[in-house]
Amino acid sequence: MNVQLNSLSLTRKSLVVTLDPSEVDAEHKAVVAEIAKVARIPGFRHGKAPAAMVAARFKKEIADEFRQKVVGKAYREGLDQQKLDVLNVVDVEESTIATGSPATITITLDVRPEFALPEYTGLETEVLPVEATDAEVERVIEGLRTERADFKATDRAAQKGDYVKLSYTGSVGGKPITEIVPDKELYGHVPQTWEEVEGAGEGVIPGLGKQLAGLKTGEKRDLTISFPAEFPAAPVLAGQQAVYSVEVLEVRERALPALDAEFFKAHKVDDLAGLQSQVRTNLKMQKEYQNRSAQRRQVTEQLAAKVDFPVPDSLVEAETQGVLRQYIEEQMRRGVPEEQFEKDKKELFSGAKQAATNRVKLQLILAKIAEQEKIEISNDDLNQAIYNEAMRSGQKPDKLARGLAENREQLRAMQQSIIFDKAVDFLVSKASVRTAQPKA
C-alpha cells in the first residue's frame, strides 16, 4: 500500500491511497467468504456452496460490498499512517476497483486546524445587581393587573392604554392601497379591527395607534402614515406616505382589577406582601439568568478575539445552511414573504456565512478547552439534554432517545452541543466578575 498526503490548504488535505493487487484480491476473497457463510443455494447445505458459485450468484451484492471494503481499508490505513485529526470527509474518488489490479482511492478531508489556546481563565465579565427595586416590583404588579383588566365602553375621547374599534381605508398619492397591493387587503381596507392607543407594539399599520388619542366614537379623521424604509410584509409600500381615512366605531377604557382577595388567590398568595415577595423572588431569578447569559456571551466574545486561525470550509458551509434555515423560518413566522429572501439572497448568504464562520471558530476553541480540561459528558448530562430537546420540540423523551440511538450523526451533534455548553460554563466559573450599576 502506498499513501500520499497532499495539502490543499491549512485545513483541507487530499489523501491518495493505492492498494496493491494482492490487497485488493484479499478484500474480495474476504467478502465472498462472508457472503458464502450466509448464502442459501439449492443443492448445497447452508454455507457450503462453492465460492465460485457464490460469486456468480451474488455478483451485485459482492461488488457493492467489495467496493465499500476497499474504500474503507484505504481510509482507515491512510489515516493511521498520516495521523490526521479528521473533522469531515469532503469527497471520495475511486479508480476502477477490480480483482488482479491496484486500486487508487483519493479522499478529500477537512482536518482540525492547529492553533495555540490563549489564556482562557480570568476573563473579565460584568453583571448587574440582582436584587429587585420597589419600583420594579410595582411595575410587575401593575402588569399583572393589566393582564386581568376588563375593557368597558366609554363616551370620552380615547386615551393612552384604551382600545379603539375602527375601520380604515388607505391610499398612496390618491390611489387606493387595495389596488397597489391587492393580495394584502389588510393594508388597504379593513371594515372593523381593534387598535391599542399608543401601545408598546406596532399594529398592522405602523404608527396608526399613536394617532388615535383624542378621537371619540363616531368621529372620522384622515391620518398620515409614513411606512418605514424597509417593510418586508409589503415591500411596495416601503418608504411610502399613505393617508388612512379612519372612523372610530367604539372606545373602550381599561379597568384594572382591585388588589383584593380574589386577585391574590389567582396568584396563589394571601395578601399584597405575599405577592410582592413572590414578584421580588421571580425578578431576582430572571436577573440571575440574564447575568449568566451575559457572562456566557462576554467570555465567548473575548475568547474568539484572542486567537485567529483558518476554519474548515465544509464545517462553515454546513453551519451557513443552518444559520440561513433558522433565520428564514423565524422571518416567515413574522410574515415576511418568500420573494423578499430571493431579493436579499446575496446579503443574507454573506451575513449567514460570517456568523457561521464565527460559530465554527468558537466551537473549535471550546472543543480544545474541553479536551485540555478533561470535560466529559455524563449520563445525567445526556438525559437532561434529551429532556430539554423533547420539551422544546414537543416530543416524548423516550421517542427522542430511540431516534438518537438510530441516528449517530444526531447523537454526535447533541454530544458536541453538551460539551460546548459545559466548556462555556467552565469559562464563566473561572472568570472575574464586576458588578456594574444599572443605567437610569
> At residue 103, what is the residue type?
A
Give the residue from 365, 372, 382, 383 showing the smallest Cα distance to 420. Answer: 365
Domain ends where: 196, 227, 255? 255
Give the residue from 348, 343, 311, 309 showing the smallest Cα distance to 330. Answer: 348
**Residue 286 maps to a domain:** no
What are the angstrom distances between the C-alpha of 73 and each of 5, 29, 31, 91?
A: 16, 14, 13, 16
Residue 438 pLDDT greater than 80, yes or no? no
Residue 285 pLDDT greater than 70, yes or no? yes
Q: What is the CATH number of the domain that holds 233?
A: 3.10.50.40
Cα atoms found within 13 Å of the Cα of residue 204, Cβ hemisphere only:
16
Mean pLDDT of 112-131: 95
Residue 440 pLDDT greater than 70, yes or no? no
pLDDT tens digits, one per residue of 15-54? 999 999 999 999 988 888 887 777 777 777 666 677 777 7
Domain ends where: 237, 255, 273? 255
**Residue 283 maps to a domain:** no
Find the domain containing 211 and state its range.
150-255
**Residue 277 maps to a domain:** no
Q: What is the CATH number of the domain that holds 39?
A: 3.30.70.1050
pLDDT at 336: 75
- Claim to verify: residue 311 and residue 430 sit in the same structural domain: yes
- Claim to verify: residue 194 and residue 307 sit in the same structural domain: no
pLDDT at 333: 79
**Residue 262 maps to a domain:** no
Residue 94 pLDDT greater than 80, yes or no? yes
Report DSSP letters for 298-316, one per residue.
HHHHHHHHH------HHHH
**Residue 166 maps to a domain:** yes
The pTM for the full model equals 0.75
- Claim to verify: residue 87 and residue 167 sit in the same structural domain: no
- Claim to verify: residue 94 and residue 157 sit in the same structural domain: no
pLDDT tens digits, one per residue of 217-259? 999 999 999 999 989 888 899 999 999 999 999 999 999 999 9
pLDDT at 275: 97
- Claim to verify: residue 358 and residue 410 sit in the same structural domain: yes
Q: Give the count of domains, the chain.
A: 3
Query: Who has greater pLDDT, 36 or 264?
Result: 264
pLDDT tens digits, one per residue of 367-425? 999 999 999 999 999 999 999 999 988 889 899 998 888 888 889 889 999 999 999 99
Residue 340 pLDDT greater than 80, yes or no? no
Domain ends where: 86, 111, 136? 111
Residue 122 pLDDT greater than 90, yes or no? yes
Give the separation between CA 54 and CA 206, rounded to whole angstroms.
75
- Claim to verify: residue 204 and residue 299 sit in the same structural domain: no
Mean pLDDT of 351-373: 94
- Claim to verify: residue 405 and residue 308 sit in the same structural domain: yes
